Chains A and B, each alone.
Chain A
Amino acid sequence: MLVSINWIKQYVDLPENITKQELGEKFTLATCEVEKVEAINQYFDLVKIVKVTGVEPHPSADKLRLATVDLGNGESATIVCGAPNVRPGILVPYAPVWAVLPGDFAIEPRKIRGVESCGMLCGETELAIGDDDYGLKEFPEDAPVGMPLSKYLGIETDIIFDIDNKSITHRPDLWGHYGMAREFATVFKKELKDPFSAEWKSAIESKIVKGKSQVERVIEDGTACLAYCSAVVKNVKVGQSPDWLKNRLSSAGLRSINNIVDISNFVMLELGMPNHIFDLSEIKGNKIVIRQAGEDKEFVTLDEAVRNLEPTDSMVCDAERPLAIAGIMGGLNSGVSDSTTELFIETANWVDAMIRKTSTRIGLRTDSSLRFEKHLDSQQCKLAMYRIIDLICQICPDAVVEGDIEFGGVDSKPYSPVMITTSAKTITDTLGIFVDEAEIVDILQRLAFLVEKKGDKLSITVPSFRATKDVSCEADIIEEIGRIIGFDNITPVAPESSLTTVRLSPAKQKERRIKDFLVYSYKALEIMTYPMVGEALLKKAQWPELNEELVLVNSISRDADRMRPSLIPGVLKACAENVKNYSDFRFFEFGRSYHAGGEFAVEKPVLLVGAFSKKATPFMELQDKIEELCSVLRLRPRFEQKSLEQIVPSSWVGIHPFENVGVSAMGKPFAQIFTVHPSLMSEFKMKGFLSLAVVDLSNVMDVELSSNVKYLPLPKFPSSTFDCTVVVPSGEPVARLVEVVSKVKIKEIASVKIADIFEPEDSSKKYVTVRTVFQDRAATLTREFLENSYNQVVKSLEKAGFGLKVD
């Protein structure tokens, strides 16, 4: 919203010794955000009428001349000029150095073809005062030399505040200049003039020709109408608005249409109350009905656009047809035209949500609907009506108000005030700065609150225009005081609070451990991909769950129209991009996957770790890292060559037939580690090997990280190592051997590892050396015991089908 400071000055005397920037900043800190402070027409104060006293040729340019001008203050200047009509004796506009003309054209001191020019002589277009671009603007001979154009042409210079509309959504009272003026008056502790006094009102009432209105009014149930005020004015003459009215509107960003429409807009901008003026002769049957659109499907608004109606939209109609979409825009059929002489004036109030709903649906947000959306005060309808009549009578002196001003609707009864009780102490305590009670009372009274002292309490009556959606409780009053004294004046204070220790939650600790491990140990990069995916990507990844239950009704794009059932499809897409840039990389994402279930949806914390290499499968290194990660998380994993349905659906075709292992921890599925199937890789146009580990953290995150470290005194007796080499079919996983030996019931077995594997080429067998370490913490192992133990190890292997290698 644009606020004209000249307009504000009609109601309040602003301090003189303050720059426009300071004014804007103070207002921003106290009331609402001033996005831009703009001085308009300022150059008219700088540009003066001067007299050309002499013209000389330019020494080095044929088309240019040097004009000497009389500045009117006894001084003269020489200006380089190229206009064809420059000649001695004429009076022309002169822009001095540093004046800024329209189009941000700044006059700078400069030499033109070697001659210094002190400013510029101007034409009409350069000053935006006309369309003639032939040469210099010439003033009549009697024009006063030295007079600024602002004075000569009667052009008002002004300062315009551009207010961020979002910062006044909760302040319906600030959508007009008078409401803004009340804020200025409070912020700068100045008096707010009251142009709308009781005397003023009775003067207007005296102009009304009493009697029942010729227009019958019906307000039907189910409409947005809260209050409806109307009047009939006859004998008006539609024509141009006076300059002051045009100036006001243009400074607030509106175009002048004609005097009646301009008055309507002026009152909206002054009091914040949108209103509508109909051509009375277009109201059929002398009847206004506020009803739902019902059967009417279409309506042509003033802007000549056809609007589709819903049956529940509120319409202002006559006996036969709709005339306006309530609170949004009038119709082409009943607007004020040049031939209009009789008016039906409406100042109404409408239910905010209903106006917003209709306006959003039809995509028409007007100055009117923008205000009604904020929940205006019905009490202002009558004031706005008085003001409209006041102005019509001023501008069209022959106008007659025929019949009573009628006011009705559910909200037309007198205001029953909102009362709030607070105290200076509560305000001081909450703000954390001492505020004197007298000052509190002063601020509130300036803001039109009524304040009554009751002991140390203050009983406050909220004015109707602050009570609709804005001020309703003590905290609101505290805010009023805080913003006016300036939150800036509050000194920061550390709160008094008892000492409490804080420890990261188990989930947070784990998250950090996981990320640290993957970065510092696996040298991976953390990435983020969108939690939403599209059907096309899921299909491309051949993902079996389409998550139809978690589709968004208003997605921005079809590529992100539902929650991801897994991180895999998004990561495949990201990888396909990354392989274009890198031959090898490791990455991880710590995110969530979303599934229908529970009350509505279940969100699983998921870790996805991936490694890509153009040359060789990174599966083994990834598997090793996940095993280490289990230790970092104090988990004892179990690795099995199978798919865990809960982690990756078994019907998914993206898994490599052999490089695929399921990991369980705490008896529950924990992770699936696999290489992406080459056929899916080619679907994503990736050449190389991509291994992924999907880790479902939902069962482990909230478990307290416990340390399983148990100290043992260092062994005093030597251990004994036994290697035996056995023959194993080449397809057999060697983990099987470790498993077999680990199960041998000898408590002195300290460790079982694979020491060596020899796989002859073209053989169906491999030779595997199993190393078993025996240790007795209490004694030296005897030869007898060892021989017996070695035998048991060999026997267990033989029993499992792995005979000793015979040289």
Chain B
Amino acid sequence: MVEIVQKIKDEFELAFSQVKDKASLMNLKSEYVGKSGKIGLILKSLKDADVETKQQVGKDSNLLKGEVEQMITEKIKSFELEEINKNLEKKKIDISLRSSLQDKGLSSAGFHPVSAIQREIEDIFVSMGFDILDGPHIEDDYHNFEALNIPANHPARDMQDTFWFKDMKHLLRTHTSSIQVRGMESKQPPFKFVGPGKVFRCEATDASHEMVFHQLEGMMVGENISVANLIYFMKTLLSEIFKKETNVRLRPGFFPFVEPGFELDIECLICGGKGCSVCKQSGWVELLPCGMVHPNVLKYGNIDTSKYNGFAFGLGLDRLVMMRYGIDDIRNLHSGDLRFVSQFAEF
């Protein structure tokens, strides 16, 4: 580099290193690369020099001009960034003050545990090809009893169990089995469906007894349905619900609408079948009644019993919820108490 250019360069670099703000930088810019800046003037000052020198100086000073411009642009950018950041700092917010730390009342949201488990079980059945049905809570004698092979003098019809209305013909359904009857009325075999919903029992309430609770009825009707099929469905269902391989056993149980009828027990989930206080040392917990649909019930449903048979079962949803979460008082379920439901919140 020619001496004179080098001199201006040194001079610039010294000045540049001392620049503190954008304004002085702009001054420096016009001083060196402005219209009549120092770099532009170099060539003019060499009017009398030879061509070769002029060419060399011109090349060098152009190079210097480029360098200077770039340095200044970069410096401007860094000044601007500094300014923006300063501004940001002024507007700084306290990012630790999340909503969840503030008292805004109750802000959690979620489903009632019974409706959550109901949906979970519905989904399992839908995945196995079952429809979901429902029926009225206020039923007549026919759908709740007669069509389920529960004849006129059967103890199940007693006042102790059933809420009756004044006409003594209508009642609050005592089980979701009435949905079986409604299902058979509306469907042609083969079919399979579940019917979840509220049921009512005339029973004094305490921590483990409720007058309103929830069941899920299931029914499958087809050709050549066997007890082995019933066990298969129950085992699949329960393994899904409890999210692990669940052992079940059937023992005889009497329900007028099934024959053979069973009580289905599951291996105690608390002790794994070894025996504990929950399973009364037996290793098994009674979970649901089920069985092969009684031929009389199929006949009431206008189903040809020479061709079709089927199975049915009823699952108590409240029990399941209480088992899953260790809920000690069933009355919480219908209390409308947000301290209760908020424990099962989604968020």
Do these two chains interact?
yes
Chain A interface residues (CB < 8 Å from chain B): 25, 28-33, 167, 169-171, 352-353, 356, 360, 373, 429-433, 473-476, 478-479, 482-483, 487-488, 490-497, 500-502, 504-505, 507-508, 512, 515, 518-520, 522-532, 549-556, 560, 563, 570-571, 573-575, 577-578, 581-587, 589-590, 592, 594, 600-601, 603, 613-614
Q: Is B251 an interface residue (CB 8 A)?
A: yes
Q: Is B226 an interface residue (CB 8 A)?
A: yes
Across-interface contacts of A475 in B (CB, < 8 A): 259-260, 292, 294-295
Q: Quick one: closest B residue to A24, CB to CB?
A: B282
Give the distance to chain B from A53, nearest Cβ to Cβ, in Å: 41
Chain B interface residues (CB < 8 Å from chain A): 103-112, 114-115, 119, 122, 126, 129-132, 134, 136-138, 140, 153, 155, 158-160, 162-170, 172, 190, 198, 200, 202-205, 211-212, 220, 222, 224-229, 231-233, 235, 249-254, 259-263, 282, 292, 294-296, 309, 333-339, 341-342, 345-347
Known: A356-B155, A556-B211. A528 touches B114 (CB 8 A): yes
Q: Quick one: closest A residue to B311, CB to CB?
A: A495
Identify 11 residue pairs between A and B in the complex whose beta-carbon atoms are under 8 Å apart, listed by A's number: A167-B253, A169-B254, A170-B254, A356-B155, A432-B228, A482-B227, A495-B220, A502-B126, A524-B109, A556-B202, A601-B165
How many Å lie between the Cα of A496 and that of B114 in the bound state?
Answer: 32
Contact A483 B260 (CB under 8 A): yes
Contact B336 A528 (CB under 8 A): yes
Across-interface contacts of A590 in B (CB, < 8 A): 115
Contact B131 A583 (CB under 8 A): no
Contact B235 A577 (CB under 8 A): no
Contact B129 A584 (CB under 8 A): no
Contact A494 B165 (CB under 8 A): no
Q: Quick one: closest B residue to A357, CB to CB?
A: B153
Across-interface contacts of A603 in B (CB, < 8 A): 136-138
Contact A577 B336 (CB under 8 A): yes
Across-interface contacts of A479 in B (CB, < 8 A): 252, 259-261
Across-interface contacts of B132 in A (CB, < 8 A): 504-505, 508
Contact B254 A167 (CB under 8 A): yes
Contact A585 B333 (CB under 8 A): no
Q: Quick one: closest A residue to B201, CB to CB?
A: A556
How many Å lie between the Cα of A169 and that of B198 in the bound state?
Answer: 26
Across-interface contacts of B134 in A (CB, < 8 A): 507
Across-interface contacts of B138 in A (CB, < 8 A): 550, 563, 594, 600-601, 603
Known: A430-B292, A556-B205, A584-B106. A495 touches B232 (CB 8 A): yes
Q: Quick one: closest A residue to B262, CB to CB?
A: A487
Q: Quick one: closest A residue to B264, CB to CB?
A: A487
Contact A505 B131 (CB under 8 A): yes
Known: A493-B228, A526-B112. A574 touches B337 (CB 8 A): yes
Across-interface contacts of B162 in A (CB, < 8 A): 554
Q: Quick one: closest B residue to A512, CB to CB?
A: B119
Across-interface contacts of A575 in B (CB, < 8 A): 336
Give the distance to chain A from B303, nearest Cβ to Cβ, in Å: 14
Besides A482-B260, A530-B212, A594-B138, 15 other A-B contacts (C-beta < 8 A): A31-B252, A430-B292, A478-B259, A479-B252, A487-B249, A490-B228, A504-B126, A523-B107, A528-B114, A550-B138, A556-B211, A577-B337, A586-B106, A589-B336, A613-B105
Give the distance to chain A from B141, nearest Cβ to Cβ, in Å: 11
Give the distance to chain A from B185, nearest Cβ to Cβ, in Å: 15
Q: Which of B104, B119, B249, B251: most chain A Cβ within 10 A?
A: B251
Across-interface contacts of B249 in A (CB, < 8 A): 29, 487-488
Contact B251 A502 (CB under 8 A): no
Give the distance to chain A from B184, nearest Cβ to Cβ, in Å: 17
Contact A431 B337 (CB under 8 A): no
How many Å lie between the Cα of A522 and that of B160 in the bound state?
Answer: 42
Contact B254 A584 (CB under 8 A): no
Give the distance to chain B from A506, nearest Cβ to Cβ, in Å: 12
How many Å lie between the Cα of A170 and that of B294 in the bound state?
Answer: 15
Across-interface contacts of B254 in A (CB, < 8 A): 167, 169-171
Chain A interface mostly = mixed
How many Å lie between the Cα of A533 and that of B249 in the bound state?
Answer: 40
Across-interface contacts of B342 in A (CB, < 8 A): 525
How many Å lie between the Cα of A432 and that of B112 in the bound state?
Answer: 39
Contact B211 A552 (CB under 8 A): no
Q: Quick one: closest A residue to B166, CB to CB?
A: A553
Q: Which of A433, A554, A589, A601: most chain B Cβ within 10 A?
A: A554
Known: A487-B250, A525-B110. A574 touches B336 (CB 8 A): yes
Contact A582 B252 (CB under 8 A): no
Across-interface contacts of B220 in A (CB, < 8 A): 495
Give the distance to chain B from A358, nearest Cβ to Cβ, in Å: 13
Contact B115 A429 (CB under 8 A): no
Contact B235 A30 (CB under 8 A): no
Contact A586 B153 (CB under 8 A): no
Contact A582 B105 (CB under 8 A): yes
Contact A492 B110 (CB under 8 A): no
Give the distance to chain A from B276, nearest Cβ to Cβ, in Å: 15
Give the distance to chain A from B339, nearest Cβ to Cβ, in Å: 6
Across-interface contacts of B295 in A (CB, < 8 A): 473-475
Across-interface contacts of B341 in A (CB, < 8 A): 525-527, 587
Contact B198 A600 (CB under 8 A): no
CB contact between B335 and one of A519, A532, A555, A574 (< 8 Å): that residue: A574
How many Å lie between the Cα of A491 and that of B231 in the bound state?
Answer: 8
Across-interface contacts of A501 in B (CB, < 8 A): 129
Across-interface contacts of B250 in A (CB, < 8 A): 29, 487-488, 490
Contact A528 B103 (CB under 8 A): no
Q: Quick one: closest B residue to A592, CB to CB?
A: B137
Q: Quick one: closest B residue to A25, CB to CB?
A: B282
How many Å lie between the Cα of A389 and that of B150 in the bound state?
Answer: 39
Contact B252 A30 (CB under 8 A): yes
Give the distance to chain A from B196, nearest Cβ to Cβ, in Å: 10
Across-interface contacts of A170 in B (CB, < 8 A): 254
Across-interface contacts of A526 in B (CB, < 8 A): 110-112, 115, 341
Contact B336 A554 (CB under 8 A): no
Q: Quick one: closest A residue to B337, CB to CB?
A: A577
Across-interface contacts of A518 in B (CB, < 8 A): 109
Q: Quick one: closest B residue to A612, CB to CB?
A: B105
Q: Quick one: closest A residue to B156, CB to CB?
A: A169
Contact A483 B252 (CB under 8 A): yes
Contact B259 A476 (CB under 8 A): yes
Contact A360 B158 (CB under 8 A): yes
Across-interface contacts of B137 in A (CB, < 8 A): 531, 592, 594, 603
Q: Quick one: closest B residue to A526, CB to CB?
A: B112
How many Å lie between the Cα of A433 and that of B252 in the bound state?
Answer: 17
Contact B261 A527 (CB under 8 A): no
Contact A429 B126 (CB under 8 A): no
- Top 4 A-B pairs, shortest CB-CB distance: A584-B105, A432-B228, A574-B336, A432-B226
Known: A584-B105, A594-B138. A600 touches B170 (CB 8 A): yes
Known: A475-B292, A493-B232. A551 touches B165 (CB 8 A): yes
Q: Quick one: closest A residue to B131, CB to CB?
A: A502
Across-interface contacts of A560 in B (CB, < 8 A): 211
How many Å lie between the Cα of A722 and that of B132 in the bound state?
Answer: 52
Across-interface contacts of A25 in B (CB, < 8 A): 282
Give the distance to chain B from A579, nearest Cβ to Cβ, in Å: 10
Across-interface contacts of B164 in A (CB, < 8 A): 552-554
Give the distance to chain B from A319, nearest Cβ to Cβ, in Å: 32
Contact A527 B112 (CB under 8 A): yes
Contact B163 A552 (CB under 8 A): yes
Contact A578 B337 (CB under 8 A): yes
How many Å lie between the Cα of A507 and that of B134 in the bound state?
Answer: 10
Across-interface contacts of B108 in A (CB, < 8 A): 523, 525
